[in-house]
Amino acid sequence: MTISRDHGGTTIGVCDAIVVGAGIVGASCAHALAKAGLAVRIVERDAPARGTSGACEGNLVLWDRTSDPDLALTRVSHRRWAELAEELSAGVGIDIEYARKGSLMVIPESGGIDGARRQCDWLGGQGVRYEWLDAAGVREAEPWLKGAVDGAAYFPDDAQIEPRLATWAQVRAAQRCGATLHAHQPVLDVQSSATGVRVTTGLGVLSADWLVVAAGVWSPEVVRSLHVDVPVRPRKGQIAIIAGSPVQVIHKVMEASYVQTVASDDEQLQVANVVESTRSGSILLGSSREVTVPSDRGVELSVLSRIVARALDFFPDLASAQVIRSYAGLRPMTPDHLPLIGPLREHPRVILATGHEGGGVMGAAATADMVAALIMGAPTPVPPEPYLPTRTLNPAGSHG
């Protein structure tokens, strides 16, 4: 499959595809491509899961999607993660902690029921399973959720994975199919032609037929030398972690207004409650949204304070639990809240795989299948047009 095209000089390697970025998206793409038989090299500036995929949650949730194509890709991914969990456990012995625990979209008494109903009507129309719970039903499903609520929609199929483990597992699986990981090697320069790409790293130059850019919020920097504008901006999110909690959180619990914060184009700080428990016994409290710059990965204490306060509105018994840690991650956001998957207009051998904002863990599995299909010329899991970087980007694409 490899077509050797040495342009002379410092070329140190030739392969079929180079994947830049070993976050959940790049790692998943590398696995899919290597499994399809391509010779793959992963070039990562740091190490796997050190970008946003190591500073997020692992929700595989359907109801926070904001448009038809968004939901379509997510549903494929949702199914694929269940399969991948088994495949990765059997293949590389890593348990990615897949748990189909269901999620609750909680409607606080302070309002939001109309928006929530509209969202559920749309989801139901698309075939997403859910069930309405009244306040008593919520109490029964989630006994520690004691804040005043009007009710909730229960989504039994929603799940979670451990994103760091999943990223590592995808890297290991790619390596088992022959891929090479070049960690601690930032991409310094990218050149492309009609038939291939040349990528400069600290090690030397790699050339390949294809380049997959999965560098999250740093993707614009990676292709800067191509003089293309990749419309991805960082939307920062912070999480607080509780250990030794007296409270049990059974499902994934998110407040209904979360979906509005996802869909909004507001660049200012917004906080919506997301609570999940993990297998290690900790509880994650999220999260915030705020547009920032790619170097801003620090936790801001005033934001952390608001996140915790909001969680206590729903789970008042968490008041006595100890917060032991926090972190911040940068979601790669696009103007229309849809990912960028496919070749660049002027550079047909450069494929973008980024821009999943707050759903990159969820979206990674289907994105990888899509990228592999585009490169191999195979049928794509869903029609690719809505995600192509060549689309016209209208701000705020929204359903209904």
Partner 1 sequence: MPDLLIVGAGPAGLAAAIQAGELGLDTVVVDENTTAGGQFYRQYPESFQEPASPRDPQRERGRQVISRARRAAEFRLGASVWGIDGPDVWLDQGGEPDLVRSHCTLLATGAHDRPTPFPGWTLPGVITAGAAQTLVKGQAVKPGSRAVVAGSGPFLLTVAAHLVAAGVRVVEVVEAATLHEGLRLLPRTLPYPARYVELSRYLTPLLRHGARFTRGCVVAAAEGRDHVERVELEPLRGGPRRTRSVGVDLLCVGYGFSAPTDLARLAGCSLRWDTGMAQPVPRHDRWQATSVPGLLVAGEACGLGGASVSALEGQIAAIGAARQLARLSDPEAARLARPLWARLRRARGFARVLTDAFPHRLQLAELPTDDTIVCRCQNVRWGTVRKAVEEGAHDLNEVKTSTRCGMGWCQGRICGAALPDLITSRVDPGFDHSAVFTARPPLRPVRASTLARALPRR
257 sits near ligand FAD (criterion: CB under 6 A): no
Which stretch, 7-15, 38-46, 300-308, 380-388, contacts ligand FAD (CB under 6 A)? 38-46
Rule CB under 6 A: choose which of 69, 112, 196, 216 binds ligand FAD.
216
Q: Which alpha helices (H) appear in the chain, and where do they start and end?
A: 24-35, 68-92, 113-125, 135-141, 163-176, 219-222, 258-263, 301-314, 360-376
In terms of phi and psi (left: phi > 0; alpha: psi -120 to 50; beta: otherwise), the region of 346 is alpha
49 sits near partner 1 (criterion: CB under 8 A): yes
Rule CB under 6 A: choose which of 20, 206, 285, 308 binds ligand FAD.
20
Nearest to 54 by CA among 167, 217, 218, 161: 167
Rule CB under 8 A: choose which of 174, 240, 275, 350 binds partner 1.
240
Tokens (6 digits) for 49 = 């899961």
Q: CB atoms < 10 A from the CB of 270, how many?
A: 18
Give the residue with the Cβ less far from ligand FAD, 151 or 216. 216
Taking CB under 6 A as the rule, which mask of x and - marks residues 304-343 in contact with ligand FAD?
A: -------------------------x-xx-----------
**Residue 285, beta-bridge partner list:** 240, 275
Which stretch, 131-139, 170-178, 253-261, 353-361, contacts ligand FAD (CB under 6 A)? 353-361
In the complex, the smallest distance separating the C-beta of residue 383 from partner 1, rounded to whole angstroms, is: 36
**Which entry of partner 1, ligand FAD, none binds 117, CB below 5 to 8 A by partner kind?**
none
Rounded distance, CA 120 to CA 265, Å? 22
Per-position DSSP letters for 263-311, written without gaps between them: H----S-EEEEEEEE-TTS-EEEEEEEEE--TT-----HHHHHHHHHHH
**Contact predicate 223/190, CB 8 Å:** yes
Peptide bond into 288 cis (omega under 30): no
153 sits near ligand FAD (criterion: CB under 6 A): no
Which stretch, 97-105, 125-133, 359-367, 380-388, contacts ligand FAD (CB under 6 A)? 359-367
**Which entry of partner 1, ligand FAD, none binds 33, CB below 5 to 8 A by partner kind?**
none
**Residue 328, beta-bridge partner list:** 238
65 sits near ligand FAD (criterion: CB under 6 A): no
Vertex 375 angle, CA 13 and 337, to 5°? 110
In the complex, the smallest distance separating the C-beta of residue 271 from partner 1, rounded to whole angstroms, is: 10
**Contact predicate 353/389, CB 8 Å:** no
**Contact predicate 142/24, CB 8 Å:** no
Which residues 50-79 are close enough to bind partner 1 by CB under 8 A?
50, 54
75 sits near ligand FAD (criterion: CB under 6 A): no
Which stretch, 11-19, 48-56, 57-65, 248-256, contacts partner 1 (CB under 8 A)? 48-56
**Contact predicate 202/208, CB 8 Å:** no
In the complex, the smallest distance separating the C-beta of residue 306 from partner 1, rounded to whole angstroms, is: 5
5 sits near partner 1 (criterion: CB under 8 A): no
Tokens (6 digits) for 48 = 């796997």
Give the residue with the Cβ less far from ligand FAD, 168 or 218. 218
Which residues 287-326 are close enough to bind partner 1 by CB under 8 A?
299-306, 308-309, 311-312, 318-326
Which residues 278-297 are close enough to bind ligand FAD by CB under 6 A?
286-287
3-state secondary structure of 368: helix
222 sits near ligand FAD (criterion: CB under 6 A): yes
Site residues for ligand FAD per CB under 6 A: 20-26, 43-46, 50-53, 55-59, 186-187, 214-216, 218, 221-222, 237, 239, 286-287, 329, 331-332, 354, 356-362
